[in-house]
Chain A
C-alpha cells in the first residue's frame, strides 16, 4: 500500500507544515531583533536575548527547529530532484522547450523556490557562525558580561552591532538574505495553505494578500536592523 508521506501530496504537506513552523520562528526572531531599533543602550535587546537563551522552552524548541529546517531542506531536495528527472527526456538540454515563455501566470519566486531556499541556507550558515556559534560555544570579547537590573548576562547587543559596524559588507549580506527570505515567503505563505487544502477561489485572494504583506514585513524588518545599526554608527 502506498504510504501517505511518500506520495507527491504527502511530501508537499510535510513541506507546508515544516514551512509554517519555521515561519512562526521567524516571527519570534524578528520580534526579539526589533528591540535593537527601540533601545540604543541595548538593554532591551540584551534582556530579550537573555530570556530566549535561558527559558526552559528553548531546550525543546531548538532541536525542533533544527529538525524542521533539515526536513524542509531535505524533502525539498528530494522533490526538486524527482521533478527535474521527469523533465529529462530525450530532447534538447534537460528536456526544456526550445522556445519557452515560462512567465505565463506564474511568478519568478514560485518557479525558483529551491534556489531561493539554497540562498537562505547559505546565509543561515554564515549567520550562525556570526552569532549563534560565538554565543553558544566559542565566546567573543564583545560578549563580556553586562549587568541589567542586577542580573548578569552576555552582551549580545555588542556582538550584533559590532558585526555591522566593523564589517560593512556583512550588512549587504544580511540585506541579500532578507530579500531571498522575502521572495521565498512571497510564494511560500499562500502555497503552504493551498497545499493543506485551505484555499478556494475567495480565500486564494485573501491568502495572496496575506502572503505579500507578511513577506514584505519580514524582509523589511530583517533588512532594516543591520542598515539601521550601520547608518547610526556613521552619523
Chain B
C-alpha cells in the first residue's frame, strides 16, 4: 500500500519544529505502525537524511514507550492498544497519516516524536512506592485480599505510564495516571503504611509539575491502552479528601 506520512520533525528541545511530508510505497497490511516507521527510517537513511526519532522498546504493549499521536489519537485508532500493537489494517491505501508527539508543557520534546516523560517519574518518587521490611520473604497468604479488591487493584496496576491520558486530555491532566498509582496501593494491605499521605503527595507533585486539573470528560479512559477506569479517579478524590481532613486536624498524617 502507498501512504503519505506527515511527521513532526524537531531537531531539539529549543527548535521550533515543523511537519515534514514523506511518501512510502512499500507499506504492507501485515506491518505494525512501528514497523512502518522503521521502513520510513530505512528509506531516510538510504537517502542520507536524518531518521525520525521515536521511542520503542518491548513492541508488545507492556512498556509504554511508543508514545505518538497518530491521526489525532494517542497510539492511533483502535481501543486499548499501544502504537506497537496498531496494525496497518486500520488504514486505507493512499491515506495521509499525521504523526505528532504528545503535546503538553509537562512533556517537553527531546527530538521529533520523543518526549521527556520524567515528570511521571517525579510523581512516582513522591508516593508511588510501598515501605516493606527487608529480609526474608513473608509467608504466602500472610496478607488476605478479597477477589473483588484484588481485581480492582489489578485494573489500576495495569497502567504502563505511557502518558496517553495526558495526551488525550484537553487540560493535559495526569489524573488518570496518578489515580491508577494511588488506587493500586490504596486497595491493598501493603499500601496502608503510607495511607492517604500518598494521594496528597502525588497530587501535589502533579500540580507542581504543571499538569492540568480533571474535568471528568472521560477522554483519558477512552484512550488508555490498558483500559484504566475513571472510577480510580473517584477513589483518588476520596483519598485526597481524607488526607485534607487529616491535615486540617494535625500536621502529620
**Interface residue ranges, A against B (CB under 8 Å):** 1-2, 4, 7-13, 79, 82-83, 85-91, 95-102, 104-107, 110-111, 113, 187, 190-191, 194-201, 204
Chain B residue numbers with a CB within 8 Å of A97 are 69, 72, 100, 103
Residue of A nearest to B73 (CB): A101
- Verify B244–A89 contact, CB threshold 8 A: no
Chain A residue numbers with a CB within 8 Å of B73 are 101, 104
Chain A residue numbers with a CB within 8 Å of B103 are 87, 89, 91, 95-97
- Verify B218–A110 contact, CB threshold 8 A: yes
- Interface presence of B235 (CB below 8 A): yes
B194-240 interface (Cβ within 8 A of A): 200, 203-204, 206-207, 210-219, 221-223, 229-231, 233-238, 240
CB distance from A142 to the nearest CB of B (A): 43
- Verify B71–A99 contact, CB threshold 8 A: yes
CA distance A194 to B216 in the complex (A): 8
Can you list 13 pairs linking A and B with CB atoms under 8 Å apart?
A8-B173, A10-B244, A87-B105, A87-B172, A90-B17, A98-B100, A101-B71, A101-B73, A104-B219, A105-B217, A105-B222, A199-B231, A200-B231
- Verify B17–A8 contact, CB threshold 8 A: no
- Verify B217–A106 contact, CB threshold 8 A: yes
CA distance A98 to B218 in the complex (A): 21
Chain A residue numbers with a CB within 8 Å of B207 are 2, 7-8
Give the A-B pair count, Cβ closer than 8 A. 155
Known: A82-B212, A91-B103. A4 touches B244 (CB 8 A): yes
- Verify B218–A9 contact, CB threshold 8 A: no
- Verify B203–A9 contact, CB threshold 8 A: yes
- Verify B230–A194 contact, CB threshold 8 A: yes
**Interface residue ranges, B against A (CB under 8 Å):** 6, 8, 16-17, 19, 69, 71-73, 98, 100, 103-106, 108, 168, 170-173, 175, 200, 203-204, 206-207, 210-219, 221-223, 229-231, 233-238, 240-241, 244, 247-248
CA distance A51 to B230 in the complex (A): 44
- Verify B204–A7 contact, CB threshold 8 A: yes
Known: A13-B241, A83-B170, A86-B106. A197 touches B100 (CB 8 A): no
User: Contact check: which of A82, A85, A86, A107 meets B217 at CB < 8 Å?
Assistant: A107
Chain B residue numbers with a CB within 8 Å of A2 are 200, 204, 207
- Verify B172–A86 contact, CB threshold 8 A: yes
Residue of A nearest to B101 (CB): A91
Known: A97-B100, A194-B230. A89 touches B105 (CB 8 A): yes
CB distance from A218 to the nearest CB of B (A): 19
Interface core residue of A10, A82, A101 (most chain B CB under 10 Å): A101
- Verify A197–B238 contact, CB threshold 8 A: yes
CA distance A106 to B217 in the complex (A): 5
- Verify B216–A105 contact, CB threshold 8 A: no
Chain A residue numbers with a CB within 8 Å of B240 are 7, 9
CA distance A110 to B222 in the complex (A): 14
CB distance from A224 to the nearest CB of B (A): 29
CB distance from A40 to the nearest CB of B (A): 43
- Verify A12–B213 contact, CB threshold 8 A: yes
User: Contact check: which of B17, B172, B210 meets A91 at CB < 8 Å?
Assistant: B17
CB distance from A215 to the nearest CB of B (A): 15
Known: A86-B211, A97-B100, A197-B237. A102 touches B71 (CB 8 A): no
